[in-house]
Chain A
Amino acid sequence: MNGWTGSILLVDLDRGETGVLRPDRALYAKFLGGRGLAGHFLRPKATLAWDDPETPLLVFTGPLNGTASPTPGRATIMSRSPLTPATACSSVGGRLGRELKNAGWDGLIITGKSARPVGLEIRDREARLVDASMLAGLTTGRIFDRLTASEPKASLAATGPAAENGVLFASIAVDRHHAAGRSGLGLTMAAKGLKYLLILGTGRTEVHDPAMLKQARQDILRLTAASPVLMGGLGLSRYGTPALYDLMHSRRMMPTDNFRHTRFEAAARLNAHALVQRFRPKAAGCAGCHIRCKRVDESGRSLPEFESLSHFTALIGNDDLDAAVAANELCNEYGMDAISAGATLACLLEITGEEVSGARILELLRDTALGRGLGADLGRGSRRLAEYMGWPEKSMSVKGLELPAYDPRGAYGMALALAVATRGGCHLAAYPVSHEILRKPVATDRFSFSGKARMIKIAEDMNAAVDSLPACKFTFFAAGLEEYAKAYTAVTGEPSSAQDLLLAGERVYYNERIMNALNGLTIKDDDLPVRFFEDDGDSGGGVSVKALDRDEFLDARERYCRVRGLDEHGRPTGQTAQRLGLEWND
C-alpha cells in the first residue's frame, strides 16, 4: 500500500506478547488513519473503565506522516479518560508520528497491564518490553536525558511523577517539548504499567505520486506564506502561539480570575514580546513542520504555549512572568496538563479567596504533581475539587474537562463549540477562533449565534479529518481540505476531494459521539458553566461583553443537534449512523 504501512502493532502487556493486525484497505479509506482509526479500534471497548486492563491505549499515525505533505508531524493518542466520562483523545506533535510510521506501523494497540513498570521500545519491526522501574520518580526531563542520550533520533513518549501519583490530568510528555496533554492520558498509560514508548524508524512511506504531492505541497506552502497568522511578522512562526495573547486581551475575552473577568490589566507586560525580551527564545516544531510554533529558551526549556501562558497569568491573577514560565515548566517536568492544572488552581483560588505569589503557585503545582496536602485534591481536577468543597458551579469545565483560554462570552461560536466538543471543554474540536477572531477563511460576527450551528458542525468534521490524515490544525488558518485532498490522493492513490475528506471526518466525529452516548452522555452534558449565562464580562474600548443569552444558546444547541443528526436528547440516531457506515441502534 502507498501511504499506509498496512500493519498495526498489537501489544499485550499482560503476557508480554506482541502481534500484528493487517486491516484491509477499505478500513483505511473509511477512517483515514490517526484519530479516525484510533476511534474505530476504541469503539468496541468504549465503555470499559479507564483503568481496566482491557482498555486499549491507542497511538495512531495517518497516511501523511513521514511524507513531504506540509505539517506531517502529528499523531493521535486515544483511550478512556480518568478525568472525564468522555473519550480521551489528544493530537500530539514532536517526532512520534514520523518515527512510528517510519518503523513500519500505522498504529499501536496496547492492552493489558504490566505488573512492573515497563518501557515499550520499537525499532522498526522489532518491539520489546524493557524494565523501567529505575525511572520511577524521575522528572520527564531526566527520563529524556537518560533514554535518548544514546539514541537522539528516537522519539520518546513518557509519563512523569504526576501520573505515578494519580493526577487525573497527567499528561504524556513527548520529545521534550510536546505532550498529549488533555484528558489525563498520562494516567491511563501509567495504569497499564507502561512508563514510556521509545520508537525509532528507518523506513520511509511509499508515495503514490511524488510529483502531485510536490504540487500539493507548493499550493499549501503558498497559502501559509500568505497567512498573517501563520507566517506574518506577528504570527505563530515568529512568536509561537503566545502571539494570540495580545489579541485575546484586546478582544476582551481573556479568561481572568477563574473566568470572573475577561480582561487582565497586567497582560501587556506578559505578552509574546515580553517572552522574547526576557528569554530570547529559539523556534522549534514538530517533525517536518515549516511553521515551527514551539518556543524554547537558551537553556533548552520549553516556553509556555498561549493557553498555559494565559492560564498561568490572567486566570490565576499572576503578573509575574517568570513564575508563569516556571509553572509551565513544572507541568512539563512532572507530566501534567497545564490547562487543567492552571484552571483547577484558579478554581481553588476563587473558592478560598487566596491571592498567590509566584512561589506559592509553584508550591501548589508541585504538591499537585506529588499528591501532597491540598495538592492531592487539586490533582483530581476542578470538577471534583469544586464539588468536594461545596461549590460545584465554580468549576469552569465542560464534561469535566477544564476550559481553555478563550472566554465564550467573547465568541459565541466558541461558546457552542466548547459545549458540544466530544472530549469536553476543548477549543480544538472546531476552533471557531479562526473565523470569529482571526478572520479566516472570512470573518464572522463573534457576538452572534446566527449560522454557527452548521459552521461548528462542518469545522468539527474538518478537524476530525485533519487529525486523521494527519496535518496540523494551525495550517487550516490558511489552507483547506481542498489542498490536502490532493496531498492525500498523491500519497495514497485513493481518489478524493475536500468533500470526501469532510465525509470521512464526519464519520470519525460521529463515532466519538456514539462512544460518548454509550457512556451515558446526553445533551445535558453539552453545556457551559452557569457563570457564562449570569455574569457579564469586562466591556470597554467600544466592545460590550455581555453574559450569554441562555435561550439563544439553547436554540443554537438545538440547531446543532439537527444539523449533526442527533435526536433531541443529543444522542446519535440510527439513520445518521447508517449513512456514515457506523453501527448504532438507537
Chain B
Amino acid sequence: MERLINKYAAKLIRAGLCDPGEPLVAGLDDELVWNREDDIRPELERLFKLLSINSLVCARPAEPFQTIINHLADKHPTVIRPQDCETRTFLHDLPVAPEFSARAMAEALRRRKSVIVPHPEGGRAVVACGAVSPEQGFVFLSSVCFAGFVLFFSEHLDETRKGLAKKDQVRAFERAAGFLPEPVPAAPRLMSGPFLSEDEALAAIAQAGRHTVDLGLVDSYFGNVSYRLGDLLYISQTGSSLDELEGCVDPCPMDDSSCAGLTASSELTAHMAIVRGSQARAILHGHPRFTVVLSMDCGLADCPERGQCHVRCPGRRSVCGVPVVPGEVGAGPLGLARTLPPAIMAPDNESGAAIVYGHGLFATDHTDFNRTLETMIEVENACRAEYFERLAGGGGA
C-alpha cells in the first residue's frame, strides 16, 4: 500500500496534474496510511468511515486545470457535465460539493468516483476514491482534468461564437490560456523499424508509449499502442499505463488461435482490423486535448443528429486534414471498431490517421512509431493553432 500511495502521488506531479507537495494519497487495508502530513487529513479520514473504500486521492490540480476547474465549478455549482468520451463512458458527470466537509464530499462520493470541492486554503481540489487501488484515484483525477479542459475550451469557443461568453469567463479563459505550455515540441527520434524480433518490438512499443505521455498527448492510464510482427499483433494491455508498458503488452495471434490477449486494450479489434486490412504495422493512440476539442466543434447547427454526434455523426468531417469519425470505446454495436478502420484505410486518407469524435487520435505507419508520433504532434499543434484562429474569427468554423 505504501509503495502505491507514494507512486501515485509522485505520478500526479510528474504528469503535470499537480504541483510538487500537493497530492495527498491514502490507502486503507486494516490501517490507514498517508503519503504525507496535512491539516486537512482528519476531515478526509472521516470519509473512510462514511464510505466503503480503500483509497483516496485529494489534490488541487495545477494550472491551467486549477483555473479551469474553479471556473467550471462556479459556473455549474452542483454538477459539471462534460461530453467527452472519458466522462461519457467512465465518470458520467462531475459532481461539485459546496464545502470541504466529509459529509458534503461523501454525499457525492456515495454515487460518483470523484468530487470537486473548495480547498480550505483556497482554490478547488478534486477528491477521488477507489475500492481496489490508489491508482483509481489517480485515474479519476486525471480524467477530471482532461474532461474539464475539453469542456472549458469547447464551451468558450461555442459561447464566444454565440456572443454569450461572459466577462468572468473571458478572464478565466485568458488566465488558463496563459498557463498553457508551449506547443508540443518536435518528436524525438524513436527506434527505427521495421522491427524483426519480439524484444525490439516490445522496446519500441514501450518507448513510443512513454514519449506520448511525456509530451502530454495522453494521460498515463489512457491510449494504446500496437505493433504487428509476422502473425502476431503486440498491443498494450487494457488499463495499462502508457508510460510503463514494460511487461504490459499482449501478443495476439492474428488468426485468433489464442485468447491469451483477453487482457489486451479495449481497442484490440480496431487495431486488428487496421493491420489485417492494410500495410500498417505501428499504431499509436492518444488523447491530445486540442484535437479532441476540435473534433467536437461542428458548425452544422441544424444537424438532425445533434446530441448523438459521438455515435451518429453522419458528416464527412475532418480536422486539420484528418478525418473525424463517431464511435464509442470498444467493439460494441456503436463502437469505434466499426468506424475507425475504414476511415484510416480510406484510399483518399493520406494522413494514415483518424480522429474519434470527443475521444482522441489514432495514427498508423508501415514501419515504426516515428511517423505516428510526428502525426500526433503535428495534428495537435495544428488543432491548437486552429482553435485560436476560430476563436479570433468570432468562432466561425
Interface centre among B139, B259, B261, B268 (most CB of A within 10 A): B259
Judging by beta carbons under 8 Å apart, are B139 and A500 in contact?
Answer: no
- Whether A458 lies near B131 (C-beta < 8 A) is yes
Q: Which residues between 218 and 259 of chain B lie within 8 Å of chain A, taking CB atoms? A: 221, 237-240, 247, 252, 256-259
Whether B88 contacts A232 by the Cβ 8 Å rule is no
Q: How far is the CA of A483 from the CA of B50 in the complex (A)?
A: 20
A227 at the interface (CB under 8 A from B): yes
The segment from B184-192, B312-320, B332-340 that touches chain A is: B332-340
Asked if A441 contacts B259 (CB within 8 A), the reply is no
Closest chain B residue, CB of each to CB of A277: B257
Other-chain residue from B1, B52, B335 in contact with A502 (beta carbon distance below 8 A) = B52
B268 touches A559 (CB 8 A): no
Q: A223-B89, A438-B263 are contacts. A231–B54 as well, Cβ < 8 Å? A: no
Q: Which of A244-302 contact B (CB under 8 A)?
A: 244-247, 249-250, 268, 271-273
Q: A231-B331, A442-B221, A443-B237 are in contact. List 13 more A-B contacts (CB 8 A).
A: A223-B90, A226-B89, A226-B266, A229-B263, A244-B262, A246-B260, A271-B259, A273-B259, A442-B136, A443-B239, A443-B240, A462-B131, A482-B113
B24-32, B57-65, B144-152 - the one binding chain A: B24-32
**Contact A234:B133 (CB < 8 A) given known A273-B256, A458-B54:** no
Given A441-B130, A502-B52, A226:B112 Cβ within 8 A: no
Q: List 29 A-B contacts (CB under 8 A).
A: A222-B88, A222-B89, A222-B332, A223-B90, A225-B335, A228-B264, A231-B331, A232-B262, A232-B268, A232-B330, A232-B331, A233-B256, A233-B268, A246-B259, A247-B260, A268-B258, A271-B259, A435-B133, A437-B263, A442-B132, A443-B237, A451-B1, A451-B133, A455-B132, A461-B52, A462-B131, A483-B92, A559-B29, A563-B29
Set of chain A residues within 8 Å of B136, measured between Cβ atoms: 441-442
Contacts of A443 in B (CB 8 A): 133, 135, 237, 239-240
Q: Could you give, for residues 157-196 of chain B, a 1 whenever the CB lies within 8 Å of some chain A CB and a 0 otherwise?
A: 0000000000000000000000000000000000000000
> Complex formed: what's the CA distance from A437 to B259 in Å?
13
Task: Please tell me if the beta carbons of B239 and A439 are within 8 angstroms of each other in the complex.
Answer: yes
Is A442 in contact with B266, judged by CB distance below 8 angstroms?
no
In the docked arrangement, what's the CA distance between A435 and B133, Å? Answer: 10
> Would you give the shortest CB distance from B18 to chain A, in whole angstroms?
19
Bound CA–CA A141/B210 (angstroms): 56
Whether A231 contacts B239 by the Cβ 8 Å rule is: no
A272 touches B111 (CB 8 A): no
Please report the C-alpha to C-alpha distance between residue A340 and residue B106 in the assembled complex, in whole angstroms. 44
Closest 4 CB pairs of A and B: A225-B332, A226-B329, A497-B110, A246-B260
Question: Do A451 and B260 touch across chains, with their CB atoms under 8 A apart?
Answer: no
Is the Cβ of B328 less than 8 Å from the Cβ of A234? no
Of residues 491 through 508 on chain A, the ones whose CB sits less than 8 Å from some CB of chain B are 497-500, 502-503, 506
A234 cross-chain contacts in B, Cβ below 8 A: 252, 256, 259, 261-262, 264, 268
Find chain A residues with CB under 8 A from B328 CB. 222, 225-226
| Complex interface bits, A141-157 against B, C-beta within 8 A gives 1, otherwise 0 | 00000000000000000
Contact of A503 among B52, B90, B131 (CB under 8 A): B52
Whether, in the assembled complex, A219 has its beta carbon less than 8 Å from a beta carbon of chain B, the answer is: yes
Which of B54, B263, B272 is in CB contact (< 8 Å) with A455? B54
Is B51 among interface residues, defined by CB-CB distance under 8 A?
A: yes
A239 on the B face (CB < 8 A): yes
Q: Are B262 and A246 in contact (CB under 8 A)?
A: yes
Q: Which residues of B contact A83 (CB under 8 A)?
A: none
CA distance A167 to B335 in the complex (A): 47
B132 touches A441 (CB 8 A): yes
Complex contacts, B247 vs chain A, CB 8 Å: 542
Which residues in chain A, 425-468, are within 8 Å of chain B measured between CB atoms? 435, 437-444, 450-455, 458-459, 461-462
Residues on A with C-beta less than 8 A from B113 are 482
Name the B residues within 8 Å of A459 (CB-CB). 131
**Complex CA–CA separation, A443 to B136 (angstroms):** 10
A485 an interface residue at 8 Å Cβ cutoff? Answer: yes
Q: Does B269 contact A (CB under 8 A)?
A: yes
- Whether a CB of chain B sits under 8 angstroms from the CB of A224 is yes
Q: Does A243 contact B (CB under 8 A)?
A: yes
Cβ-defined contact, A444 with B132, below 8 A: yes
Question: Please, which residue of chain B has its CB at the minimum distance from the CB of A245?
Answer: B259
CB distance from B397 to the nearest CB of A (A): 28
Cα distance A441–B132 when bound, in Å?
A: 8
Whole-angstrom distance from the CB of B359 to the nearest CB of chain A? 11
**Residues of chain B within 8 A of A223, CB atoms compared:** 89-90
Residues B4 and A247 in contact, CB atoms below 8 Å apart: no
| B272 in contact with A233 (CB, 8 Å) | yes
Chain A contacts of B29 at CB under 8 A?
A: 450-454, 559, 563
Q: Please, which residue of chain A has its CB at the minimum distance from the CB of B335? A: A225
Query: A231, A232, A444, A503: which contacts B264 (Cβ < 8 A)?
Result: A232
Q: Is A137 an interface residue (CB 8 A)?
A: no
A residues less than 8 Å from B295 (CB atoms): none
A529 touches B (CB below 8 Å): no
Q: Which residue of B has the minimal Cβ distance to A558?
A: B30
Contact across chains for B111 and A485 when beta carbons are under 8 A apart: yes
**What is the bound-complex CA distance between A443 and B239, given in angstroms?**
7
> Is B375 in the interface zone, CB < 8 Å from A?
no
Question: How far does the Cβ of B50 sit from chain A's closest Cβ, in whole Å?
Answer: 8
Tell me if A225 and B331 are in contact (CB < 8 A): yes
Nearest Cβ distance between residue A488 and chain B, in whole angstroms?
12
In the complex, how many angstroms separate the beta carbon of B345 from the nearest chain A beta carbon?
18
Q: Does B265 contact A (CB under 8 A)?
A: yes
**B111:A498 contact, CB within 8 angstroms:** yes
Question: B residues 5-55 with Cβ under 8 Å of A?
Answer: 27-30, 50-54
Residue pair B133, A442 in contact (C-beta under 8 Å):
yes
Q: Which residues of B contact A272 (CB under 8 A)?
A: 259
Q: For A485, what are the chain B residues with a Cβ–Cβ distance below 8 Å? A: 111
Bound form: Cα–Cα A454–B28 in Å: 8
A506-B266 contact in complex given A225-B335, A451-B1, C-beta closer than 8 Å: no
User: A439 touching B30 by the CB < 8 A rule?
Assistant: no
A562 on interface, CB distance cutoff 8 Å: yes
**Chain B 314-365 interface residues, beta-carbon cutoff 8 Å to A:** 328-335
Q: Which residues of chain A from 515 to 538 have a CB within 8 Å of any chain B CB? A: none
Distance between Cα atoms of A250 and B252 in the complex (Å): 12
**Is A221 on the interface with B (CB-CB < 8 A)?**
yes
Query: What is the bound-complex CA distance between A227 and B240, given in angstroms?
Result: 14
Provide the residues of chain A in CB contact with B111, threshold 8 Å.
Answer: 482, 485, 497-499
